[in-house]
Amino acid sequence: MSSDEWRETVIRFQVSGFSKKLRVKFMPKKFIQLALSTLLLALSFSAAAQQTGKIARIGFLDASTPSGSAVTLEVLRQEMRKLGWVEGKNITVEARFAEQKRKRVPELAAELVRTKVDLIVVTSGPSASAAKAVTTTIPIVITGAVDPVGEGLIASLARPGGNVTGLSTLAPELSTKRLEILKDAVPKLTRIGILRPPRGATIATDLQVKELKAAASVLKLKLEEIETEADAKGLERAFQTAKHNQINAIINTASRNFFAERKRIVELASQYRLPAIYNQKDYVDEGGLMSYGADYHDLYRRAAYYVDKILKGAKPGDLPVQQATKFEFVINLKAANQIGLTIPARVLERADKVIR
């Protein structure tokens, strides 16, 4: 048989899991062309199938507890669903909680990196620092850092560079505003206790305390730092100290550990009849007196958009870190009545929401 004659044979080939058996008639040159064309088609089909079926793996890292973060994590999940990311279909969430044990955060960050997640969502500056220390390639999205530049997480808000981006809460600046509100709301206020984690725990806390001290000097208020771990015994001792030192009111620093124990903190403030103002509305939702700060639920929704952009190919270093734009001042008159506090009308008029 000459090379120009047709022959019939059976060809079986497999590429990237795509298996096919063909019965063809061919001349040598035409067979080569046919085989190459079919191979390219198989590769294209396989790549398309893999792309369509890819499930993105998102890590979620928080220093607090699952119950403490349940509400805000659900806000993130809901917004992701609106953007087309459905868990079990095209996305999975690998959540890690340090359970109030600050030293576990770096360990959990390393664990997420080992599982090869596509992106890590973190809830604070300290968690972002832990994640950044173990990866320079996996994108990191912060839902609410106190001061990402001051904490050394990014080069600048406009051009973060590296693998970190997200949202900033403006906590140091807002601490000053909370102090002003507290002075207006509590007659004859002179001494305020700052509920804070132990010294050296986080840079973010030190930045907030620094702002508070500067503001207190202007407002002619005396501040006393009350260091405490966010556990039952530590918080109980903290409020006993406040009462013993004749402190008139309490203000808390923004801390994921305090946030997880917000219900207990609110109960102690009521028990010791101490007016308190918090940095998040969630404290008031648990029965707290007042809150003024960024709308954290809005920050989580906006973080979801950054997750969406990065999963679609955007580089975190090219996405500016956005600052909080929505703020809320909430007063709970039920809590005020429980501790015998009458809040002046001029303060009530400034509130975005008054719970009666």
Q: Mean pLDDT over residues 279-305, rounded? A: 97
Question: 237-259 as b/e, with b when 16 or more CB fall inside 10 Å?
Answer: ebbeebeeeebbbbbbbbbbbbb
* Stated length of the chain: 356
For 198-301, list the strands marked E by DSSP: 222-227, 249-252, 276-278, 290-294
pLDDT at 132 over 90: yes
pLDDT at 149 over 70: yes
262 neighbors 283 (Cβ within 8 angstroms): yes
CATH superfamily of 171-294+328-355: Response regulator (3.40.50.2300)
Tens digits of residue pLDDT in 3-49: 444 444 444 434 334 444 444 444 455 544 545 554 444 444 334 33
Task: Give, in order, the Cα–Cα distances in Å from 50 to each of 16, 67, 89.
Answer: 10, 36, 14
Task: Report whether CATH 3.40.50.2300 matches the domain 56-170+296-323.
Answer: yes
Q: Mean pLDDT over residues 116-145, rounded? A: 97
Question: Which residues, including other chains, have CB under 8 Å from residue 315's CB and lie 6 or more apart?
Answer: 139
Q: Which of 22-31, 215-224, 306-315 has the lowest average pLDDT?
A: 22-31
Q: Mean pLDDT over residues 237-257, rounded? A: 96
Q: Mean pLDDT over residues 109-138, rounded? A: 97
| CATH topology match: 56-170+296-323 vs 171-294+328-355 | yes
The ranges assigned to domains in the chain are: 7-53, 56-170+296-323, 171-294+328-355
CB atoms within 10 A of CB 46: 14
pLDDT at 248 over 60: yes
The pLDDT, as a whole number, for residue 313 is: 96
